[in-house]
Amino acid sequence: METKVFRRKLYDKMLQWKAERGGSTALLIKGARRVGKSTLAETFAKNEYDSYLFIDFTEVSQDIRDLFNDISDLDSLFLQLQFKFHTRLYPKKSVIVFDEVQNCPMARQAIRKLVKDGRYDYIETGSLMSIRKNVQNIRIPSEETRMTLYPMDYEEFRWALGDEATIPLLNDAFEMRKGLGDAVTRQLLRDFRLYMLVGGMPQAVSKYIETNDLGAVDAIKREILELYADDFRKIDPTGKATKMFYAIPGQLNSNATRYQLSSVVEQGKKDRVEEIIQDMEDSQVVMIAHHSNDPNVGLPLHEDSDRYKMYLNDTGLFITLAFRDKDITENVIYQKLLNDKLSADLGYVYENVVAQMLKASGNELFYHTWPTESGKHNYEIDFLLSRGSKVCPIEVKSSGYKTHASLDAFMKKYPERTAQGYLLYTKDMRKDSRILLTPVFMTMFL
């Protein structure tokens, strides 16, 4: 079956790289597996160059890999590649794509000399985790421009469904701080919940468009989750990474102020556990939100490395992971989720989609907790954004509940360092003192 090509925002950044760098750097597209890196790279090569070579290092023969062991004669290298791929390359008009470059470290090392030669452009794709694991004996090229491809964001999802009007209209309403009316908001929330259910993995989106069957979509997502679990087993044969991965929905649902590692695995040596967590984050399957001990601009300066939360890179995958106790997530569950009729508290699902949208918009994830006056409970700011010389606190609700005790307490505690506060929830936009009550589907505009 032919791979469906979706419009992706990163394409415009790739055009900018091509125009501004003029071949002085290679482009490295990193991201989790199955987010569409290979399709995007080949589509760009096909559209923007006179010819291209696409070298998939998961499939090519050993003799092609061996070509990169000795690159002292580039004329010979390029001639052999053109013959082997039956493609002619044109100086300054062709690109060579190294797909899944982590599987051929010598090809990545060759980038420095290839870029310096200047005949052709180069695009690499790969998983950051695998790239870091396979560079022990090579020289890392500095001649790289790196970009990250995330699962399809909400606007890209709407594009895939043939809708190019909704997101710009929502942006206009957000900028004007103007409510949409309850009826329109309800429909927009239903549309947004469809995105939460399907997710942004291109295969899942393609299956939904093809079949309109959420059960079929769920089967695709389960295949991807199993692929990720297998990857984690490879990086950690003890199984800790896989257990930590599977525990993400339960950990968020527990309302704990941090990921409770001790309730999931035996921790063992701290440095080894920290290495596993770093590998999981590098895979870009998992997103880490760190606790900020002193919430102020320069949030990383006050990051607590021992207090963190884990989220999944894609909320569609997250929902399937949360309901994986059945062989297949039944359509009745999906329909109840879609219509907001499921009795379970779904705050943790909305928290994950907000984390996903903030990350895709270029934000690092931080949160903040502190004891209430009684000391029996905690106030919690789900996310913090650094904006100019101040921070914007965010609280996420899965309903239209309008109270925001944590936001109020935060803004009272840190009045000088706080800008706009946001309550992300499931009702229309409203203003409440210094807090903007914002529909969750507008998260991308914060």
pLDDT tens by residue, 305-340: 889 999 999 999 999 999 887 766 667 778 888 888
- Position 249 scores a pLDDT of 93
Q: How much is the average pLDDT of 96-124?
A: 95
Comparison of pLDDT for 403 and 429, the residue scoring more: 429
Task: Note the pLDDT of residue 1.
Answer: 46
User: Hunting for tokens 């890196």 — which residue is that?
Assistant: 37
pLDDT-derived band of residue 142, with 50, 70 and 90 as boundaries?
A: confident
Q: What pLDDT is stored for residue 329 in this prediction? A: 65
Residue 2 has pLDDT above 80, yes or no: no
Q: Classify residue 126 by its DSSP letter.
A: E
Q: What is the pLDDT of residues 338-352, one digit of tens each?
A: 888 866 677 899 999
Of 67-76, 341-350, 372-381, highest mean pLDDT: 67-76
State the amino acid at position 345 in one-letter form.
Answer: D
Q: What is the mean pLDDT of the chain?
A: 92
The structure tokens listed for 404 are 């925001």
Per-residue model confidence (pLDDT) at position 334: 81
CA angle 311, 313, 317 (to 5 degrees): 95
Residue found by looking up tokens 């297998």 in the block: 230
Predicted structure pTM score? 0.93
Cross-strand pairs, 140: none
The pLDDT tens digits of the residues spanning 234-278 come to 888 989 999 999 999 999 988 788 999 888 988 767 778 888 899
Judging by DSSP bridges, how do beta strands 286-292 and 94-99 pair with one another?
A: unpaired
pLDDT tens digits for range 161-212 = 999 999 999 999 999 999 999 999 999 999 999 999 999 999 999 999 999 9
More confidently predicted of 217 and 327: 217
C-beta of residue 443 within 8 angstroms of C-beta of residue 424:
yes
Q: Which of 114, 12, 98 is nearest to 53 (CA)?
A: 98
Q: Where are the beta strands (DSSP E) in 228-313?
A: 286-292, 303-312
CB–CB of 446/325 below 8 Å?
A: no
Q: How far apart are CA 181 and CA 429, in angstroms?
A: 9
Q: What is the dihedral of CA 412, 410, 371, 364, to 10 degrees?
A: -160
pLDDT, average across residues 209-230: 94
Whole-angstrom Cα distance, residue 363 to residue 351? 15
User: How far is 319 from 396, CA to CA, in rounded Å?
Assistant: 17
C-alpha torsion sign, points 271, 273, 274, 275:
positive
User: What is the pLDDT averaged over residues 411-423?
Assistant: 94
